[in-house]
Amino acid sequence: MADQTQQTGCYVPDPKYTFLFAPPSQPAIICAICTESVLTLPSSSSSSSSSSSSQNPSTAIRVIEDSDPTMLPCGHVFGTLCLLEWLRDHDTCPACRFTLRYELCGHAMAPRRLTRENVLGGGGLLVPPQCVPCRRETNLTVARELLMPLAQKYYQLKEEGEKSVQLELLEAAMDEVLDGLVPKEEGTW
């Protein structure tokens, strides 16, 4: 347990402020699942101190700890290992029971592990009704359905326009031929 005051509430309205800029007097955030882990932001570039990682830092892999905060779309933050254990058997937030499935496509929402490099402001953001791949497919389908009739109309009008231009050229050519065949009378009444 930490020396400072501890807060067991797990809703974090602004993770950037809470984990990066909060004054030391602010209570530490404790994982609400195990009520033991003090949540602190790791650096995604920090790594475990194994001998292989110290020889080649580019291949170093950071060990995930329960003190690493992981955020859900509803704005609740828990220790990573506790939350992963919870999500094996549940598809809801442990605190508010927010369903962690997209409304339209039904795919599972992935929790976001917070590090110093990826922490953003604003917890509990608006959740889109579909995951990114399904949203992309829906957008393509809608675009095809809406744009195909427009494209067909475009090519139809283009063809009619080309026929109109060809007709005007044909009429001009016929006028020239007729002018050559019929002598022009010059005179007055």
pLDDT tops 60 at residue 93:
yes
- Upper half-sphere CA count for residue 118 (Cβ side, 13 Å): 11
End-to-end CA distance of the chain: 118
**Of 101, 125, 149, which residue sits at a domain end?**
125
Cβ atoms of 89 and 100 closer than 8 Å: no
Q: Tokens at residue 142, please?
A: 């809608």
66 & 141 share domain: no
CA–CA separation, 159 and 25 (whole Å): 74
**Of 107, 125, 143, which residue sits at a domain end?**
125
Higher-pLDDT residue of 182 and 82 is 82
- The string of DSSP letters for 87-146 reads HHH-SB-TTT--B-B-TTT-PBPPPEE--TTT--S-SSPPPPSS-HHHHHHHHHHHHHHH
pLDDT tops 80 at residue 118:
no
51 & 117 share domain: yes
pLDDT bin (cut points 50, 70, 90) of residue 51 is very low
Question: Taking residues 7-30, what's their average pLDDT?
Answer: 75
Nearest to 124 by CA among 98, 101, 90: 98
pLDDT above 90 covers a percentage of the chain that reads 22
Question: Taking residues 55-73, what's their average pLDDT?
Answer: 71
pLDDT of residue 167: 85
Higher-pLDDT residue of 50 and 61 is 61
